[in-house]
Amino acid sequence: MIRRYVFGSPIETDAVLCKPEAAVWQEGRLLLRDNVFCCGLKEDEIVYGLGQNVRGINKRGWIYESNCTDDPQHTECKTSLYGAHNFLILDGEKKCGIFVDTPAKVTFDIGYTDYEQMRIAPATPDFEFYLIEEESLDGVVSTFRKLIGRSFIPPLWAFGYGQSRWGYDSAEGVRQVAAGYRDKHLPIDSIYLDIDYMERYKDFTINEDTFPDFDRLIGQMKEQGIHLVPIIDGGVKKEDGYDVYEEGKAGGYFCKDADGEDFVIGVWPGKSCLPDMLNEEAGSWFAHKYKILLDKGIDGFWNDMNEPAIFYSEKGLREVFEKIDEYRTQNLDVDTFFAFQNMVADISSSPKDYGAFYHNYKGKRYCHKEVHNLFGYYMTRRASEAFEELSPKKRILLFSRASCIGMHRYGGVWQGDNSSWWSHLLMNIRMMPSLNMCGFLYTGADLGGFGDNTTEDLLIRWLSFGVFTPLMRNHSIRGTRMQEAYRFRSMHLMRDVIGVRYKLLPYLYSEYMKAALRDEMMFRPLGFVYGKDKLARRVEDQLMLGTSIMIAPVYEQNAEGRTVYFPEPMKLIRFHGGEIQEEGVYPKGFAYVEMPLGDVCVFLKENRILPLSKGGENVEEVDFEDLTLYCFGEKVQPYEYYRDDGESRVYDLKSGIRILTV
């Protein structure tokens, strides 16, 4: 059952595709007081959801904000990350989903002030509120997902392994990375280009000095089965003579300040303007610029800096410099020194700046802070809509850093600028089902960590989890340790681990497509499947993946294995040294499982089938027909195996599924 309530005059977000009739608010478990929804939480009640955010799968005990935020320090004390995903599920005696549909900030106090109370506070009195009640947790998710539409479907090659780094600053550097993988027979399907490929960080340009004959580079990579995937940023450099800037200025396509002038900020190229992505004409103009790269043979993009990130505004920078002149002559004591320090640190992503520019959205003028969470969504949506025109028959890979609910229809997300910390590997594990609940199926984190220096064992363990995530990309920041797999002493272990991905591809792609086309989750907490098992409901570091397997990654330094909880008998399938080993069946209960570095373990459910291929060094080499079916039990159920060409935009469950039996 779905109930939709309308409060005030909501700004349309386009998150919900088919809206039920509005109902009259009636208080029940949820009480509404001064624009805040309140309800009690029982001791054993679990709160799922909120997509991309910090802490555990169960969101009890902390305060969260839906407010797209450019913040690379993903520590437990933070309240928001890059996405704004206003959907949560209460798992108590009754199963209930809540969605707050608004483009502005929403605060979720889920037992922080009072562990037995939840408080939901939209920043404005204008919003829509959805209440979903179903018999099961999966039912709540499916009902919500049907409201918000089908998840993005990438091309098949985008399920292969990708290598990225901020610092591939020349075509020759890219060729060296490709050679490092191909010469060592390390599987790879894509190399990502960060801002290094651009001419002075200008969107839709190529640095001809360091990337001469870019078209030839693209062709050479494709001959090796490697797709180049460039980054596109949300800000346009303010430079006379730069055609994208000149067109945007002439067309009035940039966000304006209160006086109607182009609002100038600082990002990678320095002074820049923000295309008004929310405005259909302006957003479409920007999106059609992707054609410059599509025409060169590019078939995948990642959108960045689209919270939008603001290093500074012209006005804010001027105020800081004026204040520094005041401080210059002062004796900086404990109070003034920290005020000086914070003034400079707080210049980026300033709330004052987010309240200082405007959008033309659906025929009305809005201050940015009223519609903040829509910027990244519409940047990606406009691009996706342009691709339908520019590439009507062929899927284009597209994912974004910032997002809100609704964007899942147009692209995936990566989980932002994480760090090479073991805790961030665990956060990656916990974030997968939360994002799936909100419709984001094509997602993954920067394997090995983006910031700081990775370690050999951390990278191996992260790859061992990354073989399961739809987006499998190793990405790092310049100035840190190079973390391409071929650079390490244990390269042979990394080769084996990455190779597991290609053996799993028939199962992973099949489960992804069924989840997308049936509005389901690919990754589930154990509590979704074993809801009556009190122990399973509390497990936060194991996941059900699709219909057949459970995964229990190792995420602690120097561990040689881990304790696993088995909610039912399961068989261990171990990938070791390039071989697949069928090991014993673990009964219901706890057991310690040895998982040395380089081994990948999956746990197969009784009477279920796991189809595996022989692998390959890229997706094109994988034989999706010559499969080995793994199973155990006396009543093995048929497996619904989904196949399509992996490229066209035609998706059909009826014709795409065939039944595998043993």
pLDDT of residue 537: 97
What is the band of 337 on the pLDDT scale with cuts at 50, 70, 90?
confident
* pLDDT, mean of residues 603-620: 98
530 φ/ψ angles, rounded to the nearest 5 degrees: -120, 60
CA distance 367 to 357: 6
Strands in 208-323 per DSSP E: 227-233, 236-237, 256-257, 264-267, 270-273, 300-304, 312-313
H helices of 355-413, in order, are 375-390
Rounded to whole angstroms, the Cα distance separating 391 from 254 reads 26
* CA-wise closest residue to 393 among 215, 646, 219, 652: 646
Full DSSP string of 88-129: EEEESSSEEEEEEE-SS-EEEEESSSSTTEEEEEESSS-EEE
How many other CB atoms sit within 10 Å of the CB of residue 436?
24
Question: What does the DSSP 8-state code read for residue 621?
Answer: G
Average pLDDT over residues 449-473: 98
For 25, 90, 139, 141, the CA distances from 2, given in Å and listed in that order, are: 13, 15, 12, 12
Across 50-70, b (16+ Cβ under 10 Å) vs e yields: bbbbbbbbbbbebebbbbbbb
Q: Is the Cβ–Cβ distance between 427 and 416 less than 8 Å?
A: no
Note the pLDDT tens digit of each residue in 69-105: 998 889 999 999 999 999 999 999 899 999 999 999 9
pLDDT of residue 339: 84
Q: Is the pLDDT of residue 324 over 90?
A: no
- pLDDT number for residue 343: 83
Q: Is the peptide bond before 638 cis (omega within 30 degrees of 0)?
A: no
Sign of CA dihedral 391, 395, 400, 404: positive
Q: Where are the beta strands (DSSP E) in 598-638?
A: 600-605, 610-612, 628-630
pLDDT in tens, 133-182: 999 999 999 999 999 999 999 999 999 999 999 999 999 999 999 999 99
pLDDT for residue 520 = 97
pLDDT at 28: 87
Percent of the residues in the chain that have a pLDDT greater than 70, as a whole number: 100
pLDDT score for 68:
96
Lowest mean pLDDT across 190-199, 344-353, 579-588: 344-353
Distance CA 660, CA 180 (A): 38
- The per-residue pLDDT for 346 is 84
551 Cβ contact partners less than 8 Å away, ≥ 6 residues apart: 465, 468, 542, 543, 545, 601, 602, 603
Per-residue pLDDT, averaged over 480-493, amounts to: 97
pLDDT score recorded for residue 341 = 84
CB 604 within 8 A of CB 631: yes
Local confidence band at 466 (pLDDT 50, 70, 90 cut-offs): very high
pLDDT score at 514: 98
Q: Which of 431, 422, 385, 381 is nearest to 543 (CA)?
A: 431
Each residue's pLDDT tens digit, 224-257: 999 999 999 999 999 999 999 999 999 999 999 9
Mean pLDDT of the chain: 96
pLDDT at 345 over 90: no
Query: How much is the pLDDT for 335?
Result: 83
Strand residue runs (E) in 505-569: 523-525, 543-545, 549-551, 561-566
pLDDT of residue 278: 98
Question: Per-residue pLDDT for 187 more than 90?
Answer: yes
Question: Letter for the amino acid at 146?
Answer: K
Q: What is the pTM of this model?
A: 0.96
* For residue 210, pLDDT beyond 90: yes
Q: Residue 567 pLDDT more than 90?
A: yes
Instruction: Identify the band that residue 328 occupies on the pLDDT scale cut at 50, 70 and 90.
Output: confident
Which 3 state secondary structure label does DSSP give 213? Answer: coil
pLDDT in the model for residue 331: 87
Is the pLDDT at 421 greater than 90? The verdict is yes
Q: How far is 555 from 547, CA to CA, in rounded Å?
A: 24
